[in-house]
């Protein structure tokens, strides 16, 4: 019998984590003083489209964390007082009172190193969570931030899968299904499949030249995938554009002209350079972890 896995169950730490929330959170959150009035807090939340604000000792994100004021906590405190006092004017001075009186009783908090799975579990009870480090509010993470991150990651992985399936389909067309099942399936990685496809491409009117550009861009697709799967990088728009162009090339086999080839290779090269510092750092951390 398969045991159902709860998101709240402990997960392995270190490089086996999915993604730390510090990669997703909104940094340098707006904060308020303990003396800030409820009216002022509501005005700030309305203007900036926030659902909550951290309360700190100095009203800034480098101050000591005290609590959180939110629309939810204001409504809950107001309702509680209304039930206790049973008076119609209980909220007449609400806007002039300090946020301390209306802060959340047990605010949800995360640390920057916490896993996105923990964020998902905590966000079941609200829309946003404050991220605390050394009792300072480092950031805010919302349900929108997490959903967009998961969407982009899934989109990237599906695009890589689409590229690989297209190459496999072309290989079957060049060789045969039986050859693919016997020699390729489960035995070759994506770059090897690409090289196999090019071996007899001219005989089947499938031109992927310049060959070096094809290899370079396909390797960048592999690197994008590996950066997400193994080193917990994030998938962004330029990653997506490069994979889209690779997929277009696979669906429309042709020799690229000099300008087209140069442009595609340069963009893939710049993308590799842009991500390289993060990947080198991640690889070093990964190696150091297993060397301990």
For the chain, the domains span: 14-142, 147-291
Residue 25 C-alpha from the chain's centroid: 9
Tens digit of each residue's pLDDT (9 = 90 or more) over 179-200: 999 999 999 999 999 989 888 7
Rounded CA-CA distance 59/62 in Å is 8
| Contact between residue 134 and residue 215 where contact means Cβ atoms under 8 Å apart | no
Rounded CA-CA distance 117/135 in Å is 22
**DSSP-derived 3-state class of residue 27:** strand
Give counts: helices (H), strands (E), the chain. 9, 6
Helices (H), 130-189: 143-174, 177-179
Rounded CA-CA distance 79/231 in Å is 47
The residues, ordered by sequence, that sit 6+ positions from 183 with a Cβ below 8 Å of its Cβ are: 175
Q: What is the pTM of this model?
A: 0.71
Rounded CA-CA distance 30/137 in Å is 9
Q: Is the dihedral of CA 252, 257, 260, 262 positive or negative?
A: positive
The answer, yes or no, to whether residue 289 has pLDDT greater than 50, is: no
- Alpha-carbon torsion angle 236, 238, 240, 243, nearest 10: -140
Tens digit of each residue's pLDDT (9 = 90 or more) over 37-89: 999 999 999 999 999 999 999 999 999 999 999 999 999 888 887 777 655 56
276 token code pair: 């390289």
Tens digit of each residue's pLDDT (9 = 90 or more) over 28-47: 999 999 999 999 999 999 99
**DSSP-derived 3-state class of residue 141:** strand
Q: Which residue has the higher pLDDT, 292 or 20?
A: 20
Looking at the structure, give the CATH architecture of the domain made up of residues 14-142. Roll (3.10)
Q: Is 120 left (phi over 0), alpha (psi -120 to 50) or beta?
A: alpha
């Amino acid at each position: 019998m398969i045991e159902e896995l709860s998101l709240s169950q402990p997960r392995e730490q270190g490089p086996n984590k999915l993604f730390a929330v510090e990669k997703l959170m909104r940094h340098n959150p707006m904060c308020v003083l303990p003396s800030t009035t409820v009216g002022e807090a509501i005005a700030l939340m309305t203007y900036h489209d926030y659902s909550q604000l951290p309360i700190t000792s100095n009203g800034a994100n480098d101050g000591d964390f005290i609590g959180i004021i939110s629309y939810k906590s204001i409504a809950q405190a107001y309702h509680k007082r209304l039930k206790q006092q049973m008076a119609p004017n209980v909220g007449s001075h609400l806007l002039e009172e300090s946020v301390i009186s209306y802060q959340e009783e047990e605010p949800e908090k995360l640390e920057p190193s916490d896993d996105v799975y923990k964020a998902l579990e905590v966000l079941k009870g609200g829309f946003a969570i404050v991220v605390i480090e050394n009792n300072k509010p480092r950031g805010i993470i919302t349900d929108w931030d997490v959903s967009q991150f998961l969407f982009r990651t899934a989109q990237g992985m599906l695009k890589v899968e689409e590229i690989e399936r297209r190459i496999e389909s072309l290989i079957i067309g060049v060789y045969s299904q039986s050859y693919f099942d016997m020699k390729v399936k489960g035995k070759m990685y994506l770059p090897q499949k690409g090289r196999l496809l090019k071996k007899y491409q001219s005989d089947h009117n499938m031109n992927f030249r310049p060959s070096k550009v094809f290899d370079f861009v396909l390797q960048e697709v592999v690197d994008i995938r590996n950066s997400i799967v193994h080193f917990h990088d994030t998938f962004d728009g330029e990653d997506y554009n490069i994979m889209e162009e690779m997929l277009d090339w696979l669906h429309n086999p042709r020799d690229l002209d000099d300008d087209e080839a140069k442009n595609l290779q340069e963009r893939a090269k710049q993308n590799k350079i842009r991500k390289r510092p993060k990947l080198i750092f991640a690889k070093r951390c990964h190696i150091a972890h297993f060397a301990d």
